[in-house]
Amino acid sequence: MKKCILVPFDFSNEANFALDHAYELTKLSNTPIHLLYVVKKDSDIEEWQSELQKIADNFSEKHNNCEVAAIVRAGNLFKEIYEYGIEANAYLAVMGTHGLKTINKAMKVIKKFVRIPFILIQRPVIHGEYNKICAPMGPDKKSRAKFLWVKYLSNLFKSKVYIAYCETNNIEKKAEINSNLKFAGSIFEKEVIDFEVKPLPEKDFADNLYDYMAEIKPDIVLFMTDSYKENITKLKHARNIELYKKIPIMCVNPRTDIVKLAGFN
């Protein structure tokens, strides 16, 4: 089955923003978009199928007749999103979110998908392209999966990459960070991807990171899923909480097997 971009849909403004973001990806990757709405009862499927199909058809008509499928399933929200994502051979998901108040709900969905990263959207498309990518980096080698997704996005959009990492006095962590920097650098140099590296103070790292992003103005930031919630909930400054709402976030699970996905080599 042809790979697709999955957009869990709930008819909210944020879901429409997610659909717009998915289009920016699919018009370059030439993959179809699958809109998925989950209802509670089988008897609700027919009514909502009609409504979702209207949205899919209207969107396709306005966007160069791009391929948009409309799917309605009945059952548990998290289970149905996961099972359909696997069934439809989704390689990426784009989902609208309501931010901190629904962060636990979003995490329940994201963590189920071992091999599919989620891009979380709260605001409309601004530039339409991911020309600047911020990639915070930790010492864990499992986080290297993130840099292969950075490579994928950068190859689509010809992006510049900004790597930020936490300064530390721990000798072991320093060595692991340097190893990950070398890994990322080898990928980017081979692919001729422009990048720069920025160390940030360990104290209040989350706010330091978002202060840095206020300077560089990235179009997307990539977090490992297990560090996403931690970084966001530790934001203290109102300016950074507001900035967090504006920048799309890609969450990558540590076990993501990128090599087996189309478009990666």
3-class DSSP state for residue 256?
coil
CATH number, domain 4-121: 3.40.50.620
Q: What is the pLDDT of residues 79-120, one digit of tens each?
A: 999 999 999 999 999 999 988 878 888 888 898 887 889 999
User: Residue 61: its pLDDT value, please?
Assistant: 96
- pLDDT of residue 257 exceeding 60: no
Question: CB of 21 within 8 A of CB of 122?
Answer: no
The span from the CA of 102 to the CA of 63, in Å, is 30
Give mean pLDDT, residues 205-225.
Answer: 96
User: Helix-strand-coil percent breakdown of the chain, rounded to 5?
Assistant: 50, 20, 30
Q: Residue 35 pLDDT > 70, yes or no?
A: yes
pLDDT digits (tens, 9 = 90+) for 49-73: 999 999 999 999 999 999 999 999 9
pLDDT tens digit string along 154-165?
Answer: 999 999 999 999
Residue 254 has pLDDT above 90, yes or no: no
Q: Which residue has the higher pLDDT, 226 or 19?
A: 19
Give the start-to-end residue ranges of the domains of the chain: 4-121, 132-260
Q: Considering the entire predicted model, what is its pTM?
A: 0.90
pLDDT of amino acid 2: 85
Q: Which candidate, 14, 3, 11, places its Cα nearest to that of 248?
A: 14
**Among the four given CATH numbers 3.90.226.10, 3.40.50.620, 3.30.70.1290, 1.10.10.10, the one describing domain 132-260:** 3.40.50.620
pLDDT value at residue 255:
55
Rounded Cα–Cα distance for residues 102 and 21 (Å): 20
Q: From its phi and psi, is residue 99 left (phi > 0), alpha (psi between -120 and 50) or beta?
A: left
Tokens of 209: 């990171």
